[in-house]
Amino acid sequence: MAGHDDTAPTADAGRPASDIVCTSCGATPDGAEALSLARITWARGVENGRDTWTCEQCSRRFLRSIEGKLDSSWW
């Protein structure tokens, strides 16, 4: 038992949402549903042995800047 502070109402079923943070814009999935969705839709990478995540919007932006072919009306 580490800590005897029972004022923390973290009955939020397990993992904190901060598990996934966009390395680009700092966004985090809002809620458990968004979190599990993010695990599927966000781009995952590994940097220095750590998982890195890039949110959908940022990966789209990267894609756009890489390809450079899509016009701005694409999103």
Answer for which of 27, 35, 42, 53 binds Zn ion (CB under 5 A) is 27
> Closer CB to Zn ion, residue 16 or residue 53?
53
Question: Can you tell me which of 17, 19, 24, 28 binds Zn ion, judged by CB under 5 A?
Answer: 24
DSSP structure string for 12-57: S-SS-GGG--BTTT-----SHHHHHHHHHHSEEEEETTEEEEE-HH
What six digits make up the tokens of 49? 């042995």
Q: How big is the site for Zn ion, counted in residues (CB under 5 A)?
A: 6
Binding site for Zn ion (CB under 5 A): 22, 24-25, 27, 55, 58
